Structure 1
């Protein structure tokens, strides 16, 4: 399909570049000339423009976001309509990427991971107070934006959001399989504990680099068991953190924390025990009418040690982080603080010296390990892929678009969820017709320039290869291969490699796919 061009304007906004695309919408970075500000504009995809239910859901997301006033939830600044009738939402622009982006390289340090989870928890609490469920909390929906004090985590994308009144009745199954609560995957009645489960899964991913369950469908997500603690994957974590996350991920919601606040407060309490005074790293923003001098804001200093800055903070900040650290008034206690900080500086300097001394070798070894090609097998399907691209491996059944049949499939991805924005391989067994339908459908998910397919015959197996190159800022390469064996059916192989990788690399991966003994 031809690459969709970059529009010069969306309403009164000047378009800068494309930020991303999904099955239902495309997001653009734009400039608001009247306010001299960068904004993100989410536009309904043209192939859904005439679907009343999808259009209604799109606009409902905007209404949900407008009902919530929290510094940790993306804000809607405007709503408009293009000349062709498609609606768009003008949203807060998060300039520092997503949590999913950061986890592609490595997990977060303990303090940073807890900080992010606490901030996202505040956003969820704000939604819940307004009678809303998010229903799709995952690393890709946790954004970071610059502030005067550093950065802030914000929760985005209420495309699956529902009012608690609606969710209290039987609902349609929905959500991202690796992060969705079992009761949501089954379409049961929901309450705030469904979002708490997803936040627990985000906490697990932030600390380990992978989701707690490697599942590739809502059916499998509805049958998961309680995961092993994050520390069993080889990460040194406090036992209290382990237990808090495992409880949030209980399949039986009656055994979870009663609410998000209880969960995040437990995490912060664990950090206070292990780091002697942990405080969140971002400042809270004053609410209109707040009285100065009430509450406290916090930040991490350049030396990565806690410091406290007095200012006004909204109630949700205090609730999420638990009681503030006690203040000492005795003269002896006042002088003890600087002494402890000086000792802390010497200790930090020693640790940094060790890290610098061995860091180059460690990261060099890690880079080589991630580039190592390893075999991945599930069921009858196997493929050889770089270790660093195989954080998520899931075997499942899949149904090609336009088909009534389900087939075996294997997904290997650098992300927890396969999409054309990730890096990895999808292999699905089909018949020839359904494989070709799937290829046609896949091209709709992103901005790609697609070449003419090439056909070859190898020992009776007819192979069709089609390359697509990402448009705009994305130069990723997608190879879609259909192999018609003539006897055992067909298979669809989709290989997405990042910018800088060659066609030969994509072909090498596709050729490594084998099926059966």
Structure 2
């Protein structure tokens, strides 16, 4: 910056940031002996009267807002070469972007920050202005005299009045955090900023933006909320996930009706762990409700020389209870008879036993396969297989629970009679010998028992069932090291998809 060491009564200390419209300096108010931030319009805009007026208008507007959670303006001046500058509250605590980059933040801290920023954003809206560039870099922190700190929303360089954006405008904003309607140049309202705040929430809780680092063009193709946050950070509750992902609905009519509603729901979800009213209005229950925790259920898995029982009397009882109970109520199976076929129970119980990792669903905008991992179990599945349960199961009585993973299109109907949703189940079994299914699933036929094969250095057998309803079911058993085996079951009406998923499934645990 071609500028002397002073701007009026302010001595410049160092440059702390620069953007397309302005450069920000740390400075000291020599009269008040206080640190301030000075935002100076960039040289390339000096002759643009519209930009200049907008820059000054931002300062005057912020001066009137007087919110503790919006960066304050204390003075306005002009450099020797005629560029306007704003004297702002200095955020000595840095930005939210810096904290996200440094590592995971406490969930309680994130909720508190979002509540404060939401309050500041509401104050802007109450004054009739949209921010239009809410992102972690624009969430700033200042130390408080009592040792705490407050979060503030800064940089209204792209802010526009609601009247102005009621007409079609250039989108502005940062792609990873901008609402789809903003990119499309539609008329905007407060829900555009609400979407961006939801995106900030997602990033603060998981460490990455909702749909990753994407371009403005990619934003146009978003047609669903992002993956559940538990897929990136398991300790994020399903209730908080539901609240945040409703804010991230591509259709603004499906979002929270107001910032106040979003803030209240987020606080309630964090404090109670319950789903606030409205949290599920735009998200199906199967996307967010964690599976009940029934405790251990005896589920026999036979060794190679043992015939499995074929009665299906036991499993429907558990399913019926699963469909009726409150998600927080433990389920205990009534043993009305022998177990169902192992191919059904292995899958159904993965849903029923979904307590630990949660039972969550999501749909990605891309058609490319994606990889899911849980406790060393890894599988690559089509994007449309958009629900998962990272869980445990009990394949053998008296043995410890084992990691299990279930991914599919419709977990709520997985294993039900007449239901054919595609998906895959992977579960470890605490015995080294290969297991054998007894009879084919109802309505399906298979060839003779397959020969032993070698997969990644391990012995394996793979059954393929073809069903009258058009399904193909693969059932693979792999003997692992250290006294374990692996069972993989894939169901799909597309045999190519089923085969690709089957061959991608691996166990990488040590």
Match of 1:106 among 103, 107, 112: 103
Distance 1:227 1:13 in 2: 45
Matched, 1:259 2:253: no
Q: What are the within-5 Å matches in structure 2 for residues 480-499 of structure 1? A: none
Match of 1:175 in 2: 173
Cα deviation 1:171-224 (Å, max 9, x = unaligned): 221110000000011110011110000000000000011100124432222221
Distance 2:216 2:57 in 1: 24
Q: Per-residue deviation at 1:46?
A: 1.4
Q: Per-residue deviation at 1:71?
A: 0.2
Match of 2:157 among 159, 167, 192: 159
Match of 2:22 in 1: 25
Q: Per-residue deviation at 1:86?
A: 0.7
Match of 1:95 among 92, 95, 99: 92
Q: Per-residue deviation at 1:55?
A: 1.6
Matched, 1:188 2:186: yes
- Match of 1:67, SS? helix
Match of 1:245 in 2: 244
Structure 2, unaligned runs of 5 or more? 275-365, 367-510
Q: Per-residue deviation at 1:65?
A: 1.1
Alpha-carbon RMSD across the aligned residues, in angstroms, is: 1.7
Distance 1:164 1:180 in 2: 17
Distance 1:82 1:6 in 2: 8
Q: What are the within-5 Å matches in structure 2 for residues 260-339 of structure 1? A: 260-274=259-273
Match of 2:134 in 1: 137
Cα deviation 1:475-516 (Å, max 9, x = unaligned): xxxxxxxxxxxxxxxxxxxxxxxxxxxxxxxxxxxxxxxxxx
Contact persistence 2:128–2:162 (CA under 8 A): yes
Structure with greater proportional helix content: 1
Match of 1:212 among 176, 191, 210: 210
Distance 2:172 2:68 in 1: 27
Distance 1:111 1:274 in 2: 12
TM-score, L = length of structure 1: 0.51
Q: Per-residue deviation at 1:24?
A: 2.0
Distance 1:101 1:234 in 2: 19
Quick one: higher RCO (CA 8 Å, sep 6+), 1 or 2? 1
- Match of 1:79, SS? strand
In structure 2, relative to structure 1, the CA distance for the partners of 1:50 and 1:5 (3 Å cut) is closer
Match of 2:13 in 1: 16
Distance 2:273 2:253 in 1: 29
Cα deviation 1:140-160 (Å, max 9, x = unaligned): 000000011310000000001
Match of 2:200 among 199, 202, 208: 202
Distance 1:61 1:112 in 2: 29
Distance 1:49 1:185 in 2: 27
Match of 1:235 in 2: 234
Distance 2:86 2:3 in 1: 17
- Match of 2:262, SS? helix
- Match of 1:104, SS? helix
- Match of 1:27, SS? strand
Structure 1, unaligned runs of 5 or more? 276-377, 379-517
In structure 2, relative to structure 1, the CA distance for the partners of 1:52 and 1:216 (3 Å cut) is farther
Instruction: Give the paired residue count.
Output: 273
TM-score, L = length of structure 2: 0.52
Match of 1:318 in 2: none
Larger radius of gyration: 2
Q: Per-residue deviation at 1:247?
A: 0.2
Contact persistence 1:201–1:211 (CA under 8 A): yes
- Match of 1:178, SS? helix
Match of 1:223 in 2: 221
Q: Per-residue deviation at 1:112?
A: 0.6
Match of 1:290 in 2: none
Contact persistence 2:134–2:193 (CA under 8 A): yes
Distance 1:88 1:266 in 2: 39
Distance 1:228 1:216 in 2: 15
Match of 1:514 in 2: none
Distance 1:208 1:45 in 2: 34
- Match of 2:87, SS? strand
